[in-house]
Amino acid sequence: MLSAMKLTISRESLLTPLQSIAGVVERKQTMPVLSNVLLVAEDNTLTMTGTNMEVELVGRITPVHVDQPGRITVPARKLADICRALGDEAPIELVLEGDRLHLRCGASHFTLSTLPAEHFPNVEDEAESFRLELPQKELSRMLDATAFAMAQQDVRYYLNGLLLEVDQGHVRTVATDGHRLAMAHVDLPTGSELKQVIVPRKGVLELARLLEDVETPVTLVIGDNHLRATVGSYTFTSKLIEGKFPDYNRVIPRGGDKVVLADRATLKNTLQRAGILSHENIRGVRLNLAPNELQVFANNPDQEQAEDALPVEYQGESLQIGFNVGYLVDVMNALDEEQVKITLSNPNSSALIEAQNDNRCLYVVMPMRL
């Protein structure tokens, strides 16, 4: 006998968590049940779970009027799309009859296919190796400041994620795709010896979506294979990437003698304008640095050219150096101070980019031969 289930819930309390959970579920799945969301109704609570086997998100909604407890899985996107399309006026009634879930709201009635809850995969519980608590806004800031530099589909699979590092007094996030590096930290009295884990790209992006710009703490529990975060009424779990993250300290250039101060927004706009005529595959721009001026040049195989310039604070020797313009613009977008500080040494050395008055984030961009 298939379990029955019956509950009544407002559209508002169902839709927000459902949209977050549907975001974890991949559209194309090898196993049909992975396209579904698991619904468990008991004790005036509805618990919803979505997973893609790498990342799992559980949301709890309470209080919910549960007439008959039960558990079932239904297509995640279709349920989210239906709830989004319904009006706010009437409550939503969910009733499981046989192997169909009936959704009624006012005059609307939808019948959805289901798969048994037993088919839904479980993230196994594992012993925690350490836990960490920090304000949501700090973790959110660190992820926003670094996630863009993760690799997308690199064969060096450990680059397709983000390093989370905890040691005495610091929590750090580091991402690199081999051409650029982004690092952010927060000072925290952790008292931990050095711990490093690599969180996969999908896990980083989904966790960043859950976090809000508030002081409320988020608890991270880290085991051998998983990271688990508790944020409000959500429990988020991500597998970890096995592998050794590169030693980022060796990548950070030290001792550059050419220090440039520029207005971040002006520099970003200048780079974006010149980038329009850069080679569309390699996106190269040439920077000519001279006292109190930075010139930006770009050209492409169609013999088109862009020249632009902006005033900067710089007293030193002239320098010509090439960069991927997209990488520089990404850094300008990640920084939120008005003044940006760029430290250079020669045409073959990476640029070190920071906010002038905030050392919590730093960026390294490798040069290009143009």
- What is the Cα–Cα distance from 13 to 77, expressed in whole angstroms? 17
Mean pLDDT calculated for residue range 205-232: 95
Average pLDDT value for residue range 230-257: 95
Task: Please name which of 263, 209, 200, 337 lies closest in space to residue 362, comparing C-alpha atoms.
Answer: 337
pTM (whole model) above 0.85: yes
pLDDT tens, 145-159?
Answer: 999 999 999 999 999
Q: Please compute the mean of the pLDDT values over residues 310-331 and round it to a whole number.
A: 98
Q: Find the mean pLDDT for residues 159-165.
A: 97
Residue 47: HSE in the Cβ half-sphere, 13 Å Cα cutoff: 13
Tell me what the mean pLDDT of segment 194-209 comes to.
Answer: 95
Express as a percent the part of the chain with pLDDT over 90: 90
Q: Has residue 195 got a pLDDT over 50?
A: yes
Percent of the chain with pLDDT over 70: 99
| Mean pLDDT value across the chain | 95
Measured distance CA(139)–CA(343) in Å, rounded: 27
Ramachandran area for residue 255 (φ above 0: left; ψ -120 to 50: alpha; else beta): left
Please state the rounded mean pLDDT for residues 87-112: 95
Tell whether the model's pLDDT for residue 126 goes beyond 90: no
Q: What is the mean pLDDT of residues 185-205?
A: 89
Q: pLDDT for 254-305, tens place per residue?
A: 999 999 999 999 999 999 999 999 999 999 999 999 999 999 999 999 999 9
Query: Which positions ≥6 away from 56 have C-beta within 8 Å?
Result: 24, 49, 50, 123, 236, 237, 238
Question: Does 106 score more than 60 pLDDT?
Answer: yes
Going by pLDDT thresholds of 50, 70 and 90, the confidence category of residue 194 is confident
* Mean pLDDT to the nearest integer, 52-69: 96
pLDDT at residue 3 in the model: 55
Interatomic CA distance for residues 281 and 283, integer angstroms = 6
Contact predicate 83/94, CB 8 Å: no
What is the mean predicted confidence (pLDDT) over 166-174?
A: 93
Residue 59 phi, psi dihedral angles, 5° rounding? -120, 135
User: In this predicted model, which residue has the larger pLDDT, 1 or 235?
Assistant: 235
| Token digits of residue 240 | 């970890």
Pairing of strands 339-344, 258-263: antiparallel
What's the pLDDT tens digit per position in 6-33? 999 999 999 999 999 999 998 787 899 9
Domains annotated on the chain, with CATH: 5-119 (3.10.150.10), 128-250 (3.10.150.10), 258-365 (3.10.150.10)
* 58-64 mean pLDDT: 96
Residue 1 has pLDDT above 70, yes or no: no
Q: Is the dihedral of CA 200, 205, 206, 207 positive or negative?
A: positive
